[in-house]
Structure 1
Amino acid sequence: MAHAFDIDTEAQGLIDFVDASPTSFHACASAASRLTEAGFTEVVESEPFPTAPGARFLIRGGSLIAWDTRGAYAAGSGPAAGFRVVGAHTDSPNFRIKPNPDRLKSGWQSLGVEVYGGPLLNSWLDRDLGLAGRVAVRGEGRGEGRGEGRGEGRGAVEARLFHDTTPLLRVAQLAIHLDREQNEGLTLNRQLHLEPLWGLGDTPGDFRRYLSEQVGVPAADLLGWDVMTYPVEPSRRLGRRSELIAAPRLDNLGTSYAGVRALVEAARTEPRHVPVLVLFDHEEVGSQSERGAMSTLLPSVLERLVLAGGGSREDYWRALASTVIASGDMAHATHPNYADRHEPLHHIAVNGGPVLKINTNLRYATDSLGEAAFRLACEQAAVPMQSFVVRTDLPCGSTVGPMTSALTGATTVDFGAPLLSMHSARELGGAHDPAMYVAALTAFLAPAP
């Protein structure tokens, strides 16, 4: 039975989710808030997993994984019940603050930044930027779990999130009068040309003091930070009929939002298997971290769910054998000004529905069985499906799909939602696509019998 999701409601839901999530840590907090409202409860990873069925989630840094075992238990599927997993990532390319960031140049106060991932550098020029992130501070004792922003702490360390919406920074571009060749080909040196300005003075600005004020502790109690810049301009609908969405971080908060909505909706149907959502950090830099797609996060949680349900390691491997994973990231819509950069006969339209992603060199994990699972989900949701392949003479990007497939041995399919300006500071998607995206993922997590 097809799920009907309102176009305007889901478009605004995505906009609100993006604007509340300037960093991967905030994206997890936003997802956790929505899951909690839907009745999910947080699990502390360092504590034993609950043995009773339930809808739960845990956070590891900028990654989140959530699941619901109630339907599988009610159906008597047993601990070897397979999983239906939707995977995505929470991070996006940006500029991140260096450990000793304060600089003074020609009477301007600036901050040293390091480029994270592969942004379109020119898109960050002459934009009003804010600061947000996670800060490790000296604490008074052991906290409760790993959930940043909700009482995390280990020993004498506490993690705090902050989100400053004030326009603070600007990477100023050189005037055309001083370089007449810029329009013929802009070249930016990451070390020399990308430092954002944030004031005037005869001495460097005091970043540690600013940060201590944001998190409410003395500067001496700052022990470390993961602080990044983000464009402060709000996300919005645009176009003659408001059929578009302009926003930062659509890659990949578009899938993160749709995945959260789909898990909540799928859980209400109590499917016979275990629906799972996993949102990984660090996809933009290769996923090789304690919380990236190459980490133990997904396989360890899946195994612990089987063991908590009374199963054995044999049951765990049996469960993986009947598991299907849908790896969601954004997809390249056909650009009208650069149509020659796209594969002929594979036109991808914004507001045209979810996009199946295929690459025979396994930059995407899709095979025919994974394709069938996703195609059936789109049919069940009554939404159109598009197919993307990159031009044979161009390199192909990748996502978390091949990694999760290799780590679990599960059938995996890569898919996305269509987008222009991918990796820009402000990307462009369709306002109708979020509703279709949510519908397709809901059907994937709760397939019809």
Structure 2
Amino acid sequence: MPAVTTAARAHADDLADFVAASPSSFHAAAEVARRLTEAGFSTLSEDDAWPAQPGGRHLVVRDGAVLAWVVPATASPTTPVRVFGAHSDSPAFKLKPRPTTGRLGWLQAGVEIYGGPLLTSWLDRELRLAGRLVLDDGTSVLAATGPLLRLPQLAIHLDREANDHLALDKQTQTQPVWGLGAPESADLLAELAREAGVDAARIRGYDVVTADAARGAVFGADDVFFAAGRLDDLASVHAGLVALERAADGFDAEHIAMLAVFDHEEIGSATRSGAAGPFLADVLERVRIGLGGDRDEALRALAASWCVSSDVGHSVHPNYAHKHDPVVQPVLGSGPILKINANQRYATDAAGAAAWNGWCDAAGVHSQEFVSHNGVPCGSTIGPITATRLGLRTVDVGIPILSMHSARELAGVSDLHDLAAVAEEYFRR
């Protein structure tokens, strides 16, 4: 296996910064917007008029989702679009109403399970709280704590069979501790309000989740591994962001380059900021109107467009090889993956596979294929949703990882860099 390059290591370090700045979907969207603003993108509001001419770099944020695009100066009403899609949310625990709880001298957080986390992986880790607070005047502010909570595991002395059958009760054994005292004299939301610099009494609503407090790290022989929370799917968000930052300079392609980061993929995408909602369709329509296009021209543009749906997939696991296809076995460090499923749980077809392999060849990147074991159900992505909603030709890709849906997932350093390289080629080509 080739050595990890200096560029790949720098990319991993940048990803560690990005993950640390993005403990919730709302923070991820804000961080994408911040970085692209520094790269010369202008932020548009959905309730304002948008520019009505070719050229320009723009972005719009809707809750925990963000779309950003570059329009070539030569764009016309039938100019196609290249969408690189990913999602900003990850499995976690989400604060319930009246979240300050506790008993027996302990302060605890009332949480419910968001998505499908690997529950035991959250034990004995320092956790953050992060999300948005909506105040009494309707404004929304981001808030994030440092290490604050922990789900302490029961000692082996009190459950001698824990190594044989550890399973957590989703109600009684997933409520983290965050302090000592009586719950009636404490206020968990006040901790978030303090971090956001607002009065806790002004909070009227909140969307707050947990995140691993540990920073992402490179490790292993020859620095081949990268571990962090929320790699599903911040690894793809970051790859698309880096690619768009780079492609935007001197952009002269014959298509519009667009990064689409959706929220709520882990719970089905059926929200106003999810891939099954109207966000992408709304923005594409407004961009087309700005180019002077009518419905016929918009449909012609879509017919020539592409969506690359990027999400993580499973690397073959050395301790559980029987859970994987016996022939198609992607592994960390051998390149990004092309995701294939006969029942279209992934949107890849022959045309999409050919296109993806062409972009990889042009970028000088080796790609692997991924397909599930016939006896293990296959997950899905935003790919089939986007293809169904808009009729976009769509291909599902990503990077191979281990420990998917763990509080801290494992990726290959070179794969992270290679995915961004292919995404940049896709935007430019």
Which shifted more, 77-86 or 351-360?
77-86
What SS does the aligned partner of 1:48 have?
coil
Please give the per-residue CA displacement for 1:189-243, whole angstroms capped at 9, x wherever unaligned. Answer: 1110000011121444312332332333333211111111111111111102111
In structure 2, C-alpha distance between the alignment counterparts of 1:25 and 1:64, rounded to whole Å: 9
Please give the per-residue CA displacement for 1:355-379, whole angstroms capped at 9, x wherever unaligned. Answer: 0000010110111111111111000
- 2:315, 2:331 within 8 Å by CA — same for their partners in 1? yes
Task: Choose the corresponding residue for 1:229, options 179, 187, 210.
Answer: 210
Please give the per-residue CA displacement for 1:25-84, whole angstroms capped at 9, x wherever unaligned. Answer: 111111112111211111111111111321100000000001111x2x32xx51111111
Counterpart position of 2:286: 304
Report deviation, 1:350.
Answer: 0.6
What SS does the aligned partner of 2:287 have?
helix
In structure 2, C-alpha distance between the alignment counterparts of 1:261 and 1:157, rounded to whole Å: 33
In structure 1, C-alpha distance between the alignment counterparts of 2:105 and 2:173, rounded to whole Å: 16
Counterpart position of 1:66: 68
Counterpart position of 2:336: 354
In structure 1, C-alpha distance between the alignment counterparts of 2:128 and 2:366, rounded to whole Å: 38
Counterpart position of 1:444: 426
- 2:144, 2:192 within 8 Å by CA — same for their partners in 1? no
Counterpart position of 1:147: none
State yes or no: 1:407 paired with 2:389. yes
What SS does the aligned partner of 1:241 have?
helix
AA at the equivalent of 2:173: H
AA at the equivalent of 1:34: R
Please give the per-residue CA displacement for 1:358-416, whole angstroms capped at 9, x wherever unaligned. Answer: 00101101111111111110000000010000011110000100000001111100001
Counterpart position of 2:232: 251
Task: Choose the corresponding residue for 1:100, options 95, 98, 101.
Answer: 98
CA RMSD of the aligned region, Å?
Answer: 1.3
Q: What is the 5 A alignment of 1:126-205?
A: 126-138=124-136, 156-165=137-146, 167-204=147-184, 205=186
Counterpart position of 2:242: 261
In structure 2, C-alpha distance between the alignment counterparts of 1:198 and 1:6, rounded to whole Å: 39
In structure 2, C-alpha distance between the alignment counterparts of 1:132 and 1:390, rounded to whole Å: 34
AA at the equivalent of 1:183: N
Q: TM-score, normalised by structure 1?
A: 0.92
Task: Choose the corresponding residue for 1:125, options 123, 126, 136.
Answer: 123
Counterpart position of 2:16: 15
AA at the equivalent of 2:312: M
- 2:103, 2:182 within 8 Å by CA — same for their partners in 1? no
Counterpart position of 1:288: 270
What SS does the aligned partner of 1:12 have?
helix
Report deviation, 1:445.
Answer: 1.7
What SS does the aligned partner of 2:421 have?
helix
Task: Choose the corresponding residue for 1:57, options 56, 59, 63.
Answer: 59
> Which consecutive residues of structure 1, in runs of 5 or more, have no partner in the other structure?
139-155
In structure 1, C-alpha distance between the alignment counterparts of 2:375 and 2:94, rounded to whole Å: 33
In structure 2, C-alpha distance between the alignment counterparts of 1:394 and 1:376, rounded to whole Å: 30
In structure 1, C-alpha distance between the alignment counterparts of 2:69 and 2:102, rounded to whole Å: 49
> Which consecutive residues of structure 2, in runs of 5 or more, have no partner in the other structure?
none
AA at the equivalent of 1:20: A
How many residue pairs match? The answer is 422
In structure 2, C-alpha distance between the alignment counterparts of 1:208 and 1:11, rounded to whole Å: 33
Q: What is the 5 A alignment of 1:422-433?
A: 422-433=404-415
Task: Choose the corresponding residue for 1:81, options 73, 79, 82.
Answer: 79
Counterpart position of 1:112: 110
What SS does the aligned partner of 2:223 have?
coil
What SS does the aligned partner of 2:128 have?
strand
Counterpart position of 1:216: 197
Report deviation, 1:5.
Answer: 8.8
Q: TM-score, normalised by structure 2?
A: 0.96
- 2:91, 2:405 within 8 Å by CA — same for their partners in 1? yes
- 1:5, 1:435 within 8 Å by CA — same for their partners in 2? no
- 2:145, 2:192 within 8 Å by CA — same for their partners in 1? no
Counterpart position of 1:335: 317
